[in-house]
Copies of this chain bind each other. A is one copy, B any other.
Amino acid sequence: MIEKQNFDKVAIIGGGLIGTSIAMSIRKNLLANHVFIYDSNQKVRDKLRVNSISDKVCENLEDTVHDVDLVFLCVPVGSMQEVAKGISSSLKDGCILTDTGSTKNSVINDVKPYINKNVWFIPSHPLAGTENSGPDAGFPELFNGKYWVLVPFYEIPESIINSLKRFLSGFGAIIEIMKPEYHDKILAITSHLPHLIAYTIVGTATDLEDQTKHDVVRFSATGFRDFTRIASSDPIMWRDVFLNNKDAVLEMLQRFSEDLTYLQRAIRWSEGDKLEELFIKTREIRRSIIKEGQDT
């Protein structure tokens, strides 16, 4: 059992699914004395006040991070640079700064130039989420039993990294350390490409004539429905992910397209053995996942 780490003051930038879940989880697990939250959208801030999940909803970035011990950036990865600029001069010495973006190389490139050497910047990514977004989507158990990847990329004292690890363990998260490039590659195949494909096939269906589209909706339970769930995720967040993990996504997409073309050809020429061979192989991966306890 890892001892819980209490920080006195924690700030959260971004009041969406991840930001609000962090706030709720801190409160539920008594992990900090004060939690401040901020969102650039006035309506979201109003909502955050009504939901009352933090000690204070701040009106600007500077006030949010002022005198704070730990800061979470929970904004779409395309907004990280702007936020980094905005908090740059207000972070206190010794503060730990992390983020929850789905791409790590881009966040490092965007944020690092604005962070002075007295602040510990440890990028991270909780592998948790739902297809819902916005200030009402959060819940305190979101990270329980889920991986949370830390991506330290320069010399940081072990004790500092450990204090962040212990804090996140307090959410029930399982902590992993990874290099940014490797993170971006693994996420490209496990998350980014599946989302891109789901968006595509749902898009293909929306272009069908009206009666067909209506029946696609009615008979969606036969496989399509799983894709629509994935393809209802936050549009801005995902736009930014694809633009900010371009190289890894395009590489995986290229491999995928080649493999799909191979199957397309096998179907056209009625090469059943090729199809069967692949379909048997893919069962093995499913068995590995069940064995790893990642699904039942």
Q: A residues touching B (Cβ–Cβ < 8 Å)?
A: 78, 127-129, 131, 146-147, 182, 185-187, 189-208, 212-213, 215-233, 235-236, 238-240, 242-243, 246, 249-250, 252-253, 255-257, 259-260, 263-264, 267-268, 270, 272, 275-276, 278-289, 292, 294-295
Contact = CB atoms under 8 A, between A and B. Distances in A.
Given A206-B285, A228-B286, A286-B232, A200 B259 contact: yes
Given A190-B216, A190-B220, A294 B225 contact: yes
B295 A223 contact: no
Contacts of A255: 204, 207
A191 B222 contact: yes
A225 B295 contact: yes
A71 to B, nearest CB: 24
Given A201-B197, A207-B255, A275-B239, A189 B224 contact: yes
* Nearest 4 Cβ contacts at the A-B interface: A235-B279, A232-B286, A191-B222, A194-B223
| Total identical chains | 2
Q: Which of A185, A226, A246, A275 has the most CB of B within 10 A?
A: A275
Report whether over half of chain A's contact residues are helix, strand or loop; otherwise say mixed: helix
A8 B240 CA distance: 62
Given A232-B283, A238-B275, A272-B239, A200 B263 contact: yes
A224 B259 contact: no
Contacts of A213: 285
A235 B212 CA distance: 28
Contacts of A279: 199, 231, 233, 235, 238-239
Contacts of A197: 197, 201, 260
Contacts of A284: 206
Contacts of A243: 267, 270, 272, 275
Contacts of A259: 200, 203-204, 207
